[in-house]
Amino acid sequence: MRFGLILGDQLHHQLATLKALDRIRDVILMAEVVEEATYVAHHPQKIALIFSAMRHFAKELKAEGWRVRYHAFQSDSPIRSLLDFVESQQQLLPVTELVITHCGEYRLQQQIEQYWSQQLQLPVQCLNDERFFCSPEQFRHWASRYQTLRMEYFYREMRKQTGYLMQGQQPFGEQWNYDSANRKTWAGNPPLPAPLHFEHDQIDLDVLELVEREFSRHSGSLDNFRWGTTRSNALLALEHFITHSLPHFGDYQDAMVQDSDMLFHSLLSPYLNCGLLLPKEVCDAAEAAYHAGHAPLNAVEGFIRQILGWREYVRGIYWLYMPEYASRNALQHSAPLPQFYWTGRTRMNCMAECFRNTFQHAYAHHIQRLMVTGNFALLTGVDPQQISEWYLAVYADAYEWVELPNTLGMVMHADSGLMASKPYAASGNYIHKMSDYCKHCSYNVKTRTELDSCPFNSLYWYFMIRNEAKFRTHPRMGMIYRQLDKLKDRHQIISHAQQLLSQINEL
C-alpha cells in the first residue's frame, strides 16, 4: 500500500500523484494543519478557501472510489504538521511508500527532501507537477542561453511551443505584445460586470465558522467571502470572466478606480494556484473567445501573456534561484513595514483603497499591488523580507513561488534588475494619471514639499537622489535624472521626505 499526500494547492483530479496511484490499493492523505495555516498570518479568506476546497476535493475523491484519510483542523491537536499526519497514519496502515507531487514552495519541498524519508523510514517518491506549461528544468535550459532573462523572450518561446495566437512561427496580428494598447483609464463605461457570488454549502459554512473562531487575529475579514470552493464553481468563474470581462481586459488592465475593486480582472489566480483550474484550460478558453470574435486581440493576448508568460516565468525564476533569491536586497533596504499595511488605516487614499480591497476580499489587482502598495514600499526603503511576508499573507492567491519574484524582482528591485530592467518607482503623478484616487484624497498630488503634499512625490525624488550612484547612468533612467537636475527645490525635497520617513506611521 502506498500513501499519496495531496497538499492544499494541489487540488486537481489529474494531479500526478493521483495518476501514479491505484484507487483500490492506495490511500490518499490530506490534512489541515497548524504549521501550514500559520507560517505567515494568512488572510482568513485564504485559509477558508483552501480548507473548504480541500474538504470538497476529498469528498469528490471519495465519491470516485478513492480511500481518503482527512485530518480536519483542530488547534489543540498533537498533529501540527503534514509530517505529523503522515506519521500518525503510518502507525495505522502498512504503508510501503509515500508519493507526492513536487511542492509549490521551496520551504516544504526542502523539508520533504531533507528528512522526511529518514524520519518516516519510508521511501518518498516526488513527481513532477505537470500543471504548468514549462518545467523548472526547461526554464533552466532556456535561461542558460540568455545573458538577461527578460520575460518577453521567454514568452515568445512559450507562444511558439504552445501555438497560442500563432500562425506558423508568427504571432497573430504580426505583433507579439499589445501592452501599449492596454493603458486606458476607466470612467464608468463600459459597465462593470456584476461580481459573481457563490452560495455557501454546509462545508463552506463549517469552514467559515472554524476560521472565524481560530484565525480572527489574522488581518482581513471573512464577511465578504465569495470565492468558489469547488472545481465546478471555479469553472463558472472562468466562464463568467470570459463572457463578461475578457473583452475589456486589455484596455483597462492598468486602470484603478475608487470603489471598483475588480474592474475587468479575472480573479482566477486563487483557483489556478490551488489547482481548481489549469492554466491550459484558461488559456484555451481565452483563445477560443478570440476565434469566436467575442474578444479582441489586445485583450486575449494581454490575458494569455499574464498566464503563459508572467506566471510561468516567475515560477522559473523562483526555482532557478532559490533559496538564495529570498535574501536578495540589492538596494540594502531595511526600514520596518509601516503599521498601516496591517491595519489599513492611512490618509493616503490610494493606499487606503488598496488596503480596503485587500482586507475585504483577500484580493487586489496587479496594478494596485505593483504601483501603489509596492511602489510605496520601494520608495520608503522597506526591508524586502518584511514586505514579502505581507504579500504572502494577505492575498487568497499567495504562494511563495509566485509572490516572491513579484515582490523582490518586480516591486523592490532587490534582485539588481534580474527581472525588471529598471525599478517600478513612480510619483503621485502616475497614480493620478491611472486612477481617480487623488480626487478623493486629503493630500495634494500637484505639490511636493507642502504640509499636505502627496507623500509619493517627495519620496519618489528622494529615492532617485538616494540611489543616484546606481541609476544615473542607467540607459532607461537618464531622463529622470535630467529632470531631477532641473528641480530648484532639491534641498526642500530631501528634508520633506526625511520628515515623512521619520513619522511614516502618521501618514
Q: Establish if 406 lies at the interface with ligand FAD (CB under 6 A).
A: yes
CB 35 → ligand DLZ: shortest distance, Å?
Answer: 8
Beta bridge partners of 71: 31
Q: Establish if 290 lies at the interface with ligand FAD (CB under 6 A).
A: no
Closer to ligand DLZ by CB, 29 or 477: give it. Answer: 29
Q: How far apart are CA 293 and CA 476, in angstroms?
A: 38
Q: Establish if 437 lies at the interface with ligand FAD (CB under 6 A).
A: no
Residues in 13-52 that interact with ligand DLZ by CB under 6 A: 31-33, 36-37, 42, 47, 50
Residues in 263-282 that interact with ligand FAD by CB under 6 A: 265-269, 272-273
C-beta of residue 171 within 8 angstroms of C-beta of residue 178? no
Cell of 33: 494543519
Q: Residue 332: name the closest of 268, 277, 383, 269 by CA.
A: 383
Contacting residues toward ligand SF4, per CB under 6 A? 348-350, 428, 431-432, 437-438, 441, 443, 445, 454-456
CB 251 → ligand DLZ: shortest distance, Å?
Answer: 34
CB 7 → ligand DLZ: shortest distance, Å?
Answer: 3
The interface partner of residue 348, options being ligand DLZ, ligand SF4, ligand FAD, none and the CB cut-off 5 to 8 Å by kind, is ligand SF4
Q: Establish if 7 lies at the interface with ligand DLZ (CB under 6 A).
A: yes
Q: For 446, list phi and psi in degrees, rounded to 5.
A: -85, -15
Q: Establish if 389 lies at the interface with ligand DLZ (CB under 6 A).
A: no
Q: How far apart are CA 180 and CA 18, in angstroms?
A: 43
Q: Residue 186: name the closest of 260, 240, 243 by CA.
A: 260
Closer to ligand DLZ by CB, 164 or 227: give it. Answer: 227
**In Å, how far from its chain's centre is CA 487?**
37
C-beta of residue 268 within 8 angstroms of C-beta of residue 124? no
Provide the phi-psi class of 350: left if phi over 0, else alpha when psi is between -120 and 50, else beta: alpha
Beta bridge partners of 69: 29
CB 245 → ligand FAD: shortest distance, Å?
Answer: 8
Q: Establish if 411 lies at the interface with ligand FAD (CB under 6 A).
A: yes
Out of 103, 268, 377, 379, point to the residue binding ligand DLZ (CB under 6 A).
Answer: 103
Residue found by looking up cell 484558461 in the block: 282
- How many other CB atoms are there within 10 angstroms of residue 301's CB atom? 29
The interface partner of residue 33, options being ligand FAD, ligand DLZ, ligand SF4, none and the CB cut-off 5 to 8 Å by kind, is ligand DLZ
Task: For residue 126, give the DSSP letter.
Answer: E
The interface partner of residue 129, options being ligand SF4, ligand DLZ, ligand FAD, none and the CB cut-off 5 to 8 Å by kind, is none
Closer to ligand SF4 by CB, 401 or 456: give it. Answer: 456
By CB under 6 A, which span of 57-65, 118-126, 307-315, 484-492 interacts with ligand FAD? 307-315
C-beta of residue 107 within 8 angstroms of C-beta of residue 388? no
CB 109 → ligand DLZ: shortest distance, Å?
Answer: 7
- Residue type at position 37: A
CB 373 → ligand FAD: shortest distance, Å?
Answer: 8
C-beta of residue 377 within 8 angstroms of C-beta of residue 455? no
Considering Cα of 375, then 261, then 404, then 309, what sign does the dihedral take?
negative
C-beta of residue 214 within 8 angstroms of C-beta of residue 145? no
Q: 3-class SS at 2? A: strand
By CB under 6 A, name the binding residues for ligand FAD. 265-269, 272-273, 303, 306-307, 310-311, 314, 365-366, 369-370, 374, 391, 395, 397-399, 402-403, 406-407, 410-411
By CB under 6 A, name the binding residues for ligand DLZ. 7-9, 31-33, 36-37, 42, 47, 50, 82, 103-105, 108, 399
